[in-house]
Amino acid sequence: MRPEIRVVADAAELSRIGAAEFEQAALSAVQARGRFTVSLSGGSTPRGLYSQLARQGSKLPWDKMYFFWGDERHVSPDDKDSNYRMVRETLLSQAPIPPDHVFRMHAENTDAARVAEEYEHTLQQFFGLKAGELPRFDLVLLGLGPDGHTASLFPGSAALQERSRLVTANWVAKFGHYRLTLTAPVLNNAAEVMFLVSGEEKTAALQSVLYSDAPAEQFPAKLVAPRDGRLLWLVDRAALPAGPPISKGA
């Protein structure tokens, strides 16, 4: 399925429209399958969307929604860099979400590989997977780094090659830290992936990911192409490449 690219005015509209898309995905999934499973993105862009969801909360079937993370920093849940902490502050503490519907990565464990194994087991148990089967999230939220990374799939990192594990501990040389991340096969098994991209610092990466033939090794967000699902890029004007998109052949 071809990616949909939807341009919005600014970060505030990105949050509003992102929340509306999130709500639509949740209501559709609950109607069709009785539950909604979502993999949340970290970083800063989605903060506004999570806060918007909490504000408009009454329309959402919170007791039928299940929250996972696409990636996590290798820190404790109270660390300022924790993606779990960011979501707890903006959404989990602001909405009637049953605590046992929240599945965070236990990244306080100093053994990053163990954290990945444990989260993979959590996914297998929740989704009732046999060995080799992939979870199918109703929605995966992703961001885009200025270097073209998404989740914690960073350029040149080992996780880009991972095709059998669901979750992996990915050594990110530029940080000198491990990151925990869902792998590309999991992202690409989703029913819907929504990228949220805001700000001029993302323009070059967006151009390379969407409009160039640069290799995915260099711009890992290029790996995301749901096999049987919707791919929506929600982009604000500041992040749009200035000139006309470079055609694929350029």
Quick check: 18 binds ligand 6PG (CB under 6 A)? no
Quick check: 150 binds ligand 6PG (CB under 6 A)? yes
Question: Which is closer to ligand 6PG, CB of 43 or CB of 57?
Answer: 43
What is the closest distance, in whole angstroms, from the C-beta atom of residue 197 to ligand 6PG in the complex?
Answer: 8
The Cβ-side half-sphere exposure at 86, using a 13 Å CA radius, reads 20
What is the closest distance, in whole angstroms, from the C-beta atom of residue 179 to ligand 6PG in the complex?
Answer: 7
Distance CA 114, CA 86 (A): 23
Site residues (CB under 6 A) for ligand 6PG, limited to 73-112: 83
> How far from chain centre, in Å, is Cα 132?
22
CB 46 within 8 A of CB 89: no
Distance CA 111, CA 46 (A): 28
Q: Which stretch binds ligand 6PG (CB under 6 A): 18-26, 90-98, 148-156, 182-190?
A: 148-156
What is the closest distance, in whole angstroms, from the C-beta atom of residue 146 to ligand 6PG in the complex?
Answer: 8
Quick check: 45 binds ligand 6PG (CB under 6 A)? yes
Number of residues that bind ligand 6PG (CB under 6 A): 14
> How far from chain centre, in Å, is Cα 34?
22
What is the closest distance, in whole angstroms, from the C-beta atom of residue 63 to ligand 6PG in the complex?
Answer: 27
Distance CA 144, CA 71 (A): 13
Q: Name residue 67's beta-bridge partners.
A: 38, 102
Q: Which of 18, 48, 135, 145 binds ligand 6PG (CB under 6 A)?
A: 145
Distant-in-sequence, close-in-space partners of 96: CB < 8 Å, separation ≥ 6? 57, 62, 63
Q: Which residues bind ligand 6PG (CB under 6 A)?
A: 41-45, 71, 83, 143-145, 149-152
